[in-house]
Amino acid sequence: MDTVSLREKIAAFQAAYIRCIDRNELENWPDFFLPQCQYTVTTADNHRAGLAAGLIWASNRAMLQDRISALRHANIYERHSYRHIVGLPFIVDSQAQTASSETPFMVARIMHDGETSLYCTGIYHDVYNTSANTLRLKSRIVVCDSSRIDTLMAIPL
Amino acid sequence: MSQTHPIQWVRGQHTRVPYAVYQNQDVLEQEQKRVYEGPTWNYLCLEAEIPEPGSYRTTFVGRAPIVVARDTDGEIYAFENRCSHRGALICLEKAGTAKDFQCVYHAWTYDLQGSLKGVAFEAGLNGAGGMPPSFCKEDHSPRKLRIATFCGLVFGSFSDEVDGIEDYLGPEICARIERVLHKPVEVIGRFTQALPNNWKLYFENVKDSYHASLLHLFFTTFRLNRLSQRGAVIVSESGGHHVSYSMVDAPQAEAGKQYQEQGLRSDQEGYKLADPTLLAGFKEYEDGITLQILSVFPGFVLQQIQNCLAIRQVLPRGVEKTDLNWTYLGYADDTPEQRDVRLKQANLIGPAGFVSMEDGAVGGFVQRGIAAAGEDQAVIEMGGDSTSSSPSRVTEASVRGFWKLYRRLMDI
């Protein structure tokens, strides 16, 4: 494992992350994060302007679990799935215990009636804890390129 | 019955709405003239968003592009974002600061009040070309709007006949806006939600206090908005504006039983939050009201859900396309802890909102459902045919109120 570069580790992490979401294994999605973490979905405009609010804003892993239980048990929405395509991670910074990266993504959404559309493009701004063998996210800020968001954002990005 | 759109309405009452009114291009065009450019006040932006001389934002009144700017005299002005020359957008940015505005097409220049000040090569070049001497710049400014501000909200109107803003809103709506916007606010985020439906379907949904406890499980499970809670619906005299509010009492076993007996989907037991602090806010309003949804005709919403404050601007983009512009707010004097509560509770709203998610989708369900509805009509009869305020929220009075004013303006 020691010979595996940080870039490869992050790429493998991203592959596992999108596989989890796209296979509808959402109960496992919070495990990609540390218990104390930040997960925000926002837009490039807000991110640039330093506006803190998110479409989704979670300041710990329990809130991510709540997202999933709300999707499973509370919210009403039409059945659909995502297909994430992630680009190559760019390592912004790497320290002894942490690393930060930016990874571009595109998401197609497949509605239950088969309608498929380009749902969202953007960048994952990530901070990882790299001290353990398995990477975990300290922070993932999902910055959507467009400020116009489709009416339904149920499944996380 | 207007000849421009032969849609059949039941005369004299507001309990039936022909589905065609959500489907017809002629209706959309009439709405621009009669509703948005009629005797109404349209929300443009917050005063706080154009704080300095030269600050501006672009927005829309209906489908008309608008520039709203603060001039060096400190006053706010708004004008149609359409060059007097060939009709191009004068200002392309969402917001910024400027000394003046110059159309990119032929460099015609406008001041911050929207008055035409400069025409490139007006006198021609080397004695040739140029505008005729009869051309008078003063006669060629874009359409200007009247401006009214209330509690930091900036409204614009194309109409010379519209009442002053406080008369337009009425005392009860004014008081309920003041209740929330009683001190300076700050924008903490902006999002545009693209709705796949006619604008009226969303605005009706905002006014519909009947659906809240039925469609949104998240609300009811956490006792944010049980119909059995204390609350009421206020409908303005015009019908066009409304407030729905509730306050959380101590858990009412009796009320809970009513829901269970009806076996409603929205009352599933056993749903718990792993992080219950999502709803653990702080008390900031003395009246104990934990939820207040307020609408101003034709497309403004002010929302307080616990400590989560937002403005929603409803704008048509086509017969079956609507932009819902969210402006998330905090108070300027928020502590960091208070601000975090607002950020956390914002999970309730927007396209991913635990509550608002369904509101964003149901309009599309209706739009698709009525595809072959022909001349059929929606039934809006909960609470009878009244369009007045009600102590019960099991009513569609505020939805009927919307149609009352809408039909008056549309002359149908």
Q: For position B277, what pLDDT does the model report? A: 86
B215, B339, B343 member nearest A76 (Cβ):
B215
**Chain A residues touching residue B364 (CB < 8 angstroms):** 151
CB contact under 8 A, A151 and B360: yes
CA–CA distance from B254 to each of A44, B5, B39, B213, B263 (Å)? 48, 50, 46, 16, 15
Residue A127 has pLDDT above 50, yes or no: yes
Q: What size, in residues, is chain A?
A: 157
Q: What is the pTM of this model?
A: 0.94
Is the confidence at residue B266, as pLDDT, over 60?
no
Confidence of residue B272 (pLDDT cuts 50, 70, 90): confident
Q: B348 with B218: CB under 8 angstroms?
A: yes
The answer to whether A41 contacts B191, with C-beta atoms less than 8 Å apart, is no
Residues of chain B contacting A46 with CB distance shorter than 8 Å: 189-191
B261: buried, middle or exposed (CB in 10 Å: 19+, 13-18, 0-12)? exposed
DSSP string for B239-259:
SS-EEEEEE--S--HHHHHHH
Strands (E), B64-184: 64-70, 76-80, 95-97, 101-102, 109-110, 116-118, 144-150, 153-157
If you count residue pairs, one on A and one on B, with CB atoms under 8 Å apart, how many are there?
Answer: 119
Q: Measured between CB atoms, does B340 come within 8 Å of chain A?
A: yes
- Cβ A56–B347 below 8 Å, yes or no? yes
Q: Work out the pLDDT band at B247, boundaries 50, 70, 90.
A: confident
B321 touches chain A (CB under 8 A): no
Q: What is the pLDDT of residues A21-75, one digit of tens each?
A: 999 999 999 999 999 999 999 999 999 999 999 999 999 999 999 999 999 988 9
CB A131 within 8 A of CB A31: no
Residue B16: helix, strand or coil by DSSP? strand
- pLDDT band, residue B249 (cuts 50/70/90): low
Alpha-carbon Rg for chain A in angstroms: 15
Alpha carbons B397 and B400: distance in angstroms, whole number: 5
Residue pair A37/A137 in contact by the 8 Å Cβ criterion: yes
Partners of B344 on chain A (C-beta within 8 Å) are 57, 59, 63
> Inter-chain contact A66–B364, Cβ cutoff 8 Å?
no
Amino acid at B69: A
Model pLDDT, residue A4: 77
DSSP class of B120: T
The 10s digit of each residue's pLDDT in B275-307 is 888 888 899 999 989 899 999 999 999 999 999
Mean pLDDT, all residues of chain A: 96
Q: How confident is the model at residue A149 (pLDDT cuts 50, 70, 90)?
A: very high
Residues of chain B contacting A154 with CB distance shorter than 8 Å: 352, 357
3-state secondary structure of A69: helix
B139-170 tens-digit pLDDT: 999 999 999 999 999 999 999 999 999 999 99
Q: What is the DSSP string of B24-89?
A: -HHHHHHHIIIIISSS--EEEEEGGGS-STTEEEEEEETTEEEEEEE-TTS-EEEEESS-TTT---
| pLDDT at site B223 | 53
Q: In chain B, positions 193-222, which contact chain A (CB-CB < 8 Å)?
A: 193-196, 215, 217-218, 221
**For residue A78, which residues of chain B lie inside 8 Å, CB to CB?**
361
